[in-house]
Amino acid sequence: MTLNRISPEKAEELCRNGAKLVDIRGSDEHVRAHIPGSRNIPLDQLGPLEGDEPVIFHCRTGMRTGSNAEKLALCCNGNGYLLDGGIDRWKAEGMPVTEDRSQPLPIMRQVQITAGTLILIGVLLAAFVAPGFIWLSGFVGAGLLFAGLSGWCGMATLLSAMPWNRKAAG
């Protein structure tokens, strides 16, 4: 089965008529912002869904749903759809979104901010203080390379243990 992309307006209409709205993002992303009535089932936990109601899958921008469309199609018993543009487009078009800014940023955004900051600091210190500080940037870059190759990110593990990340609702 092929999953067609649909607009937020069409998705809202289908939901009013009984369609299921499934958010495939991680729970940390869902807790921070979600479409009211959506059910959070992270992509790595998603399996066949019960019932034959239409299912609308969404992520943040539509990229994850698009690149995993074949897997998502296998989860539907009836018609399946992809929310075009994800929750970002839904929100941009003035549709309701429940947000909790007190929740921490998603871990991968925290990793990007931390890694970028450490690399920039390493480069600036190497340029203006001592050339040896370039190793800080190299170390962070090697860590990111390892994370990409292995699927395990030490920085994400460390950041997950920080106090501000423990308050996220599950």
Indicate whether 169 pLDDT > 70: no
Residues annotated as catalytic (active site), given as ranges: 59
pLDDT band at 167 (very low <50, low <70, confident <90, very high): low
Decide which of 166 and 170 is more confident: 166
**pLDDT tens-digit readout, 65-117:** 999 999 999 999 989 999 999 999 999 999 999 999 899 998 999 999 999 99
Q: How large is the average pLDDT for residues 50-78?
A: 96
pLDDT of residue 96: 97
Calpha distance 71→41 (Å, rounded): 13
49 DSSP 8-state letter: P
Q: Which structural domains are found in the chain, ordered by start?
A: 4-99 (3.40.250.10), 107-166 (no CATH)
pLDDT band at 125 (very low <50, low <70, confident <90, very high): very high
Calpha distance 57→141 (Å, rounded): 34
Give the ranges where the chain is alpha helix by DSSP (H).
Answer: 8-16, 27-32, 63-67, 69-73, 86-92, 107-128, 134-150, 154-160, 163-166
Calpha distance 114→75 (Å, rounded): 36
Please give the share of the chain, as a percent, with pLDDT higher than 70.
98
pLDDT of residue 1: 76
Q: How large is the average pLDDT for residues 135-153?
A: 97
Average per-residue pLDDT for the chain? 95
Calpha distance 149→5 (Å, rounded): 31
pLDDT of residue 166: 82
**pLDDT tens-digit readout, 18-39:** 999 999 999 989 999 999 999 9
Angle at 49 between CA 44 and CA 53, to 5 degrees: 135
